Amino acid sequence: MSVHRSAPEGLSSAALAAQAHDVPARDGGLSRLCHLRAPGTSVVLELPSDGLPVVLHWGPGLGELTGDDLEAMFRGVQPHTANSRIYTQTSVSVLPQHSTGWLGRPGLAGSRSGRAWSVQLDQVRHEVSPSGTDGNDRDGAPAVGGGQPVEVRSVAIDEASQLEVVTELQLHPSGVVRLRASVRNLGDPYVVTALEPALPVPPEADELLDMAGRHTLERMPQRRPFAVGAWVRESRGGRPGHDSGTLLCAGRPGFAFRSGRVWGVHLAYSGNQVLYAERTFNGWRLLRAGELLMPGEVVLEHGESYTTPWLTASWGEGLDALSHRFHHLLRSRPQHPRHPRPVLLNTWEAVYFDHDLQRLYELADRAAAVGVERFVLDDGWFRGRRGEHAGLGDWYVDEDVYPDGLHPLVERVRSLGMEFGLWFEPEMVNLDSDLAREHPEWLFDAGHGPGMPSRNQHELDLGQPEAYAYVLERVSALVEEYRIDYVKWDHNRPLIDAGHQPHGEPGLHRHTEALYRMLAELRRRHPALEIESCCGGGGRIDMGILEHTDRVWASDCNDPHDRQTIQRWTSLLLPPEVVGAHIGPPVSHTTARAHGLTYRAGTAMWGHLGIEWDITEASPTELQELAAWVRLHREHRDLLHTGTVVRADLPEPALRVEGVVDEDRQRALYAVTAVDRPLTWPPGRVPLPGLDPERRYHVRPQPPGDDHPGVGYPGKPPWMTHGVILPGRVLDEVGIEAPPLHPDQLVLIRVEGVGEPPG
């Protein structure tokens, strides 16, 4: 075994360390204990000579431990063994196996024509080292985490079953753990049914949190006790889905944003998947995830292997701390967007399918005048696309609508100083299209024809090499011809009956891998191109798609009332700069609710800002106010898109406090929002979390987000008139009086440090 050692003393914000120590194993042999450290986080593993890694601790940093400390810890956590190790289960690996006495869901399930269905490992080799060289993972992908993560790679052989099983566990400088597994076939064809790595959580993790939802109402949180049995969240539509669990968390009962220890896992994958929380009768609590494989979808010939997506895991003293680690991980990727995120205007809710060139010119003129930096032409620009019934798949500019192509519009947009973006939905097809008529064999078909329509769409199989080549050529050619800066890549329906022609075998795994390859190739051909992942809104939001895109669209709902919750829980996983948030029209397209501009713009501030509104119909006053909001966002986007996201825990559910604090804790921006009517009046004080407790801050309302306080009520808190200077500790522990707000109103608060920072 090779061990990478770096100085454990004085770990910096990007330092990692690993130490190893041999101890007597349970069976009389030797095991190796391995302590992986990142700032604030420790992972302690047992590496047995006859098994895959066993997690003894994952969570708070344990400091520097000697070999004697590790050995004593190992002895101290061993459970009492009664008359059967099966009933006691003294250890469970990151890939639990039936042959070890595990009576829960096996980590690897499969067979070779009914044989080799129970894996028992004969030889295991563990390596502890940085993952790859030059900052790259072993599979060639860029290393995540701002440097080389420490990795434990374990290779095991089951000679009787003729299988090789590999697990890779990485600890990144962010404190995030990534875990994946692979199986290689050394014999006759082997069918993989499931491969699902797992991480244990301690007994204090007695409550579960994940998310549910639907189209235009994604990522609604839900909680339940972590009881004996299993809580399973499956996605079977070829994408995580609008009802995706997104994160599966377990923590101390009542854990909140600022308190309560909590652990959470996310699967970095964009196809079918399963999240799984399992508690057994003998006390084990596991969080696990993997690709949900269709029957016969992965059949390994001799020498072939299958590797799972990364199970990505974080922990924290409260959900904010868990979230900060995920944000740090994503922001430290080499490809993470670092230039200012351009404010954009998307044409969908302005013109829908009515692509009149003069109207688009006027829209572009108005957009530039209010400070928009990127103009995105949405659905309706290609052949035959005058509605949702035809044209999908025919990726040629419609000559009837644009007789000179898109060149006149693109030139107008660029002359106004804006970038140009274009909408595509390359994975979908209308039956009323040249593509479907000429190449029906490119559509998914499980033996029943093209299957059930949804939104008048059917499914194109990118696993068909000819279909893949066609889509790649058309998208790339248009990007090249029009020097497109930005592609909005949509995916408006679940994939069902997704059979790969001509025989109809399941094709979703192949399709998802082809999607990743295509996005990577587009970025290789067009290095400056930015890509947004849209999926009927928020149906494909995961770290897998973000390896190949620059932004996700959180929801097709622009109603700020619903967006308050959608964005809050999307940001638990993703930092604001990669989450699209748009100012919609005065009356919402999806809910018919009416809201003033302050609430619409003040809600959209907390992401990658856009406008999705026919501003050619806006009044001069509305345009002036909209321009002020765009200026405010551009003034503060360096803070909003690099700072630490914080959320207050309030006893009054009608109120919310969210904000962003810069890295030096010198300045911050908060929003106090009323999403309903408070039960008591006045609602009382609200804290401003995340500031330096020893530093003094000037607190005052931030225009233009200061124009609603007092509406319908006499007066407002004195601090809103004169400002107030208080230490960060007081602002967090005591707080300030909440502004008087009606439902669906908010106030922005600007906070700036006064004088030199302490120390």
Q: Is 490 considered catalytic here?
A: yes
Q: What residues contact 582, with CB distance under 8 A and at least 6 apart? A: 346, 558, 604, 609, 610, 611, 612
What Rg do the C-alpha atoms of the chain give, in angstroms? 27
Instruction: Give the DSSP per-residue string, 54-91.
Output: EEEEEEE------HHHHHHHHHHTPPPP-S-HHHH---
Whole-angstrom distance, CA of residue 501 vs CA of residue 493: 20
Nearest 5°: CA angle at 314, between 211 and 668? 85
SS3 603: helix
Burial class of residue 247 in the structure, from the number of CB atoms within 10 Å of its CB (0-12 exposed, 13-18 middle, 19+ buried): buried
Residue 380 one-letter amino acid: G
CB atoms inside a 10 Å sphere around CB 462: 26
Cβ contact 330:577 at 8 Å: no
- What is the sign of the dihedral through the CA atoms of 289, 216, 383 and 504? positive
Eight-state DSSP code of residue 707: S
CB atoms inside a 10 Å sphere around CB 671: 20
Q: Which of 209, 210, 218 is nearest to 241 (CA)?
A: 218
Tell me the sheet residues that pair with 207: 225, 251
Around 613, how many Cα atoms within 13 Å sit in the side-chain half-sphere? 28
Whole-angstrom distance, CA of residue 164 vs CA of residue 305: 9
Whole-angstrom distance, CA of residue 126 vs CA of residue 150: 13
Q: Which of 290, 271, 114 is nearest to 197 (CA)?
A: 290
Phi, psi of 138 (to 5 degrees): -65, -25
Whole-angstrom distance, CA of residue 262 vs CA of residue 581: 28
List the 298-300 sheet strands across, edge first: 108-111, 190-195, 298-300
For the record, the structure tokens of 601 come out as 């713009």
Residue 205 one-letter amino acid: A
Q: Which of 158, 243, 490, 662 is catalytic?
A: 490
Whole-angstrom distance, CA of residue 469 vs CA of residue 466: 5
Phi, psi of 408 (to 5 degrees): -60, -40
The pairing of strands 551-553 and 530-533 is parallel
Cβ contact 65:35 at 8 Å: yes
Whole-angstrom distance, CA of residue 161 vs CA of residue 152: 24
Whole-angstrom distance, CA of residue 371 vs CA of residue 302: 59
Burial class of residue 1 in the structure, from the number of CB atoms within 10 Å of its CB (0-12 exposed, 13-18 middle, 19+ buried): middle
Alpha-helical regions (H) of 502-619: 508-525, 560-570, 597-604
Whole-angstrom distance, CA of residue 522 vs CA of residue 424: 13
CB atoms inside a 10 Å sphere around CB 434: 13
Whole-angstrom distance, CA of residue 135 vs CA of residue 147: 6
Nearest 5°: CA angle at 499, between 516 and 487? 30
Q: Which of 137, 556, 559, 662 is catalytic?
A: 556
For the record, the structure tokens of 674 come out as 């009323």
Q: Give the active site residues.
A: 490, 556
